[in-house]
Structure 1
Amino acid sequence: MPSRIRAVVTVLASLLSAAPAAAERLSWPARDPPAHPQRVVSLNLCADELVLRLADRDQIAAVTYLARDPRGSTVAAEASSIPWTRGLSEEIVALKPDLVIAGAFTTRTTVGMLRRVGFPVLELGVPTDFDGVRAQIRTVASALGQPDRGDAMVADFDARLSAAMPSSPTHLRTLVMRPNAFTVAPGSLGNAILQAAGLVNVAAEIGQDRLGQVPLEAAALADADLIVLDAAQPGSPSLADALLRHPVLAALARQGRTVSIPNRLWTCPGPQIADVVARLSQAARVRVAR
């Protein structure tokens, strides 16, 4: 066995053997976190956002590196002074958390290992409507021992959402075009956001591929009243964003038929989605007035 591979195997073996001992030493029963955990680690951006908004600072052992990036995070300022990880097993074990909060589709290897050795893990799903958002906020708040903060966040979200929703829906035919031509499907939280803003999602009628992408030709022929794009990030071009700078979409923008929304506002199912509803409602009013 090559020396490099042998070294990696040795490190992993030592971590896996040490983790059960650490768990036993601190009396961590599997899936049974303390009522008020004191060493919380979050393993994806959406968990980061809720933890940073709901927990006491001294409860948080670490968030992910993504929480500090203002391009995708709504809590970059709050995360600036918090330790971060890349979600690797050895990083999390070393922190000796008494609660780990993860997403359903991220860091699966790490989550699986943590469960096997007995660390308490709360996995967050992907809400498909506003009730799901409210339930997830309350679930995280309860797990952190901060249920009152969860109730307060939900109340604030509901107030902002009520203020953002139009009194008279415009029913403008709307298409969301994200990087790499991803759109929002019927039955998703993105679709619920469009409906709350008084808009009609045309993704269902024009069709998507199995990955949820819409070809540019289909988007152009859909003749949508409003196309929702990710706001451009100055100085950070990418192939994924190239489609959003296509001349077809540029022409629609000149006609006042596009609106740009910062990606960070609807990457995660948190209270900030009320801001998305507000921006879309305003864009619809402007479009109707043209």
Structure 2
Amino acid sequence: MLWLLSLLSGLFFTLSAAAATPQRMLSLDLCMDWTLAYHADPQRVAALSPMLKRYPVDWIGDNWPGHDGTLEQIVQLQPDLVLVGQFSALMLRGRLSDLGYKVAVLPLPGSLEQVVDYERQLLELMGENPDKARSAPEWRIPAANAKRLLLLGSNGIGTGRDTFEHQIIEQAGWRNYLEVSGHVALDLEQIASDPPDAILFAAPEHQALANRFADHPVLRRSVPPEGWLTTDYWRWQCPGPWTWDLIRQLNQWLD
């Protein structure tokens, strides 16, 4: 009799876990789009946000369903879990919560240490094993004479210290070229007199006036062509498991 009770108890637990696993997940912003596409099967996703069509990435195919961002269509899709970032779709997610839909609001990680916990939390919400989250690499402190990397964004804005990007740069073994905190307008004269070892232009690929700064002759003369690095821009936009791939790629350029 005891073995039968044990069997029934295990079966009940399995069925309960299966019933609690979301089967119609829906995203309200781009970072959650990428997270769902990275971890979930398309069959378990009711729709990704309209942001994905505006900012497509090559690793997400056309087989993923999408929604138009309206309350009416989302209600028609009947999601059993809505994922959204802290600062996204405030009114829409509020209305969905009022209507009784399960809405999970997740702040983006502010540090590399938080990326693993962030991924584990998302996996738990998705009904997946949180141990599937990728581990952070061993913490690295750049050498005092390590090469200096300038992270250049649109409009001639450089990324300094006390930023998430700064942590990525140092974890990859580089020193940040900028000694100041935050995101600052770059000084061409300073760069010309004391150039970095490398410049990584982290901005959208399409040409625009906002990106012309990167083509300035002073910058091009200050750093040789082999010192201009490129990565997938999307990896810088949202922290996630791909952050570790970005760190590994930056580290390889030091060799």
| TM-score, reference length from structure 1 | 0.70
Uncovered stretches (5+) of structure 2, i.e. residues with no partner: 1-18
Q: Which residue does the alignment assign to 1:203? A: 178
Question: How much has 1:229 moved relative to structure 2?
Answer: 0.9
More contact order relative to length (CA 8 Å, sep ≥ 6): 1
What is the RMSD of the two structures over their aligned residues, measured on CA atoms?
Answer: 3.0
Question: How much has 1:215 moved relative to structure 2?
Answer: 3.1
Distance 1:112 1:252 in 2: 50
Q: Which residue does the alignment assign to 1:121? A: 103
Question: How much has 1:57 moved relative to structure 2?
Answer: 2.5
Question: How much has 1:74 moved relative to structure 2?
Answer: 6.0
Question: How much has 1:68 moved relative to structure 2?
Answer: 5.2
Uncovered stretches (5+) of structure 1, i.e. residues with no partner: 1-33, 286-290
Structure 1 residues 88-130: Cα deviation after superposition (integer angstroms, max 9, x where no partner): 3333222221111011222222123223333211112121222
Distance 2:63 2:225 in 1: 44
Residues 141-152 of structure 1: pairs in structure 2 closer than 5 A: 141-147=123-129, 150-152=130-132
Q: Which residue does the alignment assign to 2:80? A: 98
User: Residues 64, 192 of structure 1: CA spacing in aligned structure 2 closer, same or farther, 3 A cutoff?
Assistant: same
Q: Which residue does the alignment assign to 1:56? A: 41
Question: How much has 1:251 moved relative to structure 2?
Answer: 2.2
Structure 1 residues 16-69: Cα deviation after superposition (integer angstroms, max 9, x where no partner): xxxxxxxxxxxxxxxxxx731121101112111111222232220001234356
Q: Could you tell me whether the CA contact under 8 Å between 2:82 and 2:103 is conserved in 1?
A: yes
AA aligned opposite 1:282: Q
Residues 80-229 of structure 1: pairs in structure 2 closer than 5 A: 80-147=62-129, 150-155=130-135, 158=136, 161=137, 171-205=146-180, 212-217=183-188, 220=191, 223-229=195-201
Structure 1 residues 196-240: Cα deviation after superposition (integer angstroms, max 9, x where no partner): 1112223343x65xxx3423437625632222213773xx32223
Question: How much has 1:283 moved relative to structure 2?
Answer: 2.4
Distance 1:261 1:216 in 2: 24
| TM-score, reference length from structure 2 | 0.78
Distance 1:89 1:169 in 2: 54
